[in-house]
Structure 1
């Protein structure tokens, strides 16, 4: 497992994207791409991939002409091909340096309010008898 970028604060500032166009199909025997779903949302390092991690490993079989897109901070991998080699054309995209801070306040606000949009709010801990 690896990721294409390991920048700090990646969940706020990662702006890289990888696009793959399958020239040939990719399956379990031909070295298909697999991702750890949700790993782009938190700073999950490759050495933290354990069976008890609650993020699923998802194989992405493709046919010729299929397109895959993933953030460069998504954990991904492919196994060595057994029957035939998978051929893929990859290209990347990233915001220019001067665009680094564009929308960062909005991104921060969305992340900070994300728990309010799920069915269960996080547990609030008490400090010195006061709820936080």
Structure 2
């Protein structure tokens, strides 16, 4: 029995490493939108710069604490820019960063997919839940 060529092993290992790296980057990118409110904030800021209380009002029933946490996380990720104006009282505005603005096309595509296929997903869940309940009753 002969061992496979070393070059083939290295090529295979490189493909696995690249696929793992790609999967991690994709997971991280999806994670940017994983909080309950991040998509809503991105959509709201897609209409232009907003003040904190405008966002709070537009995103009701979000709490102040959750909005603050969401905005900080999105600022940390580079998706939005927070501007504090030197006024009394201070005026704070939020806007999409250039990076955050690049999220618009994928969000629109995901939104379109959701509107087209969301009902099918709901139906699949109902079928699954009905089968799972029947298995539990039969057990």
Taking structure 2 as the reference length, the TM-score comes to: 0.23
Larger radius of gyration: 2
Higher RCO structure (Cα 8 Å, ≥6 apart): 1
Higher-helix-fraction structure: 2
Q: TM-score, normalised by structure 1?
A: 0.24
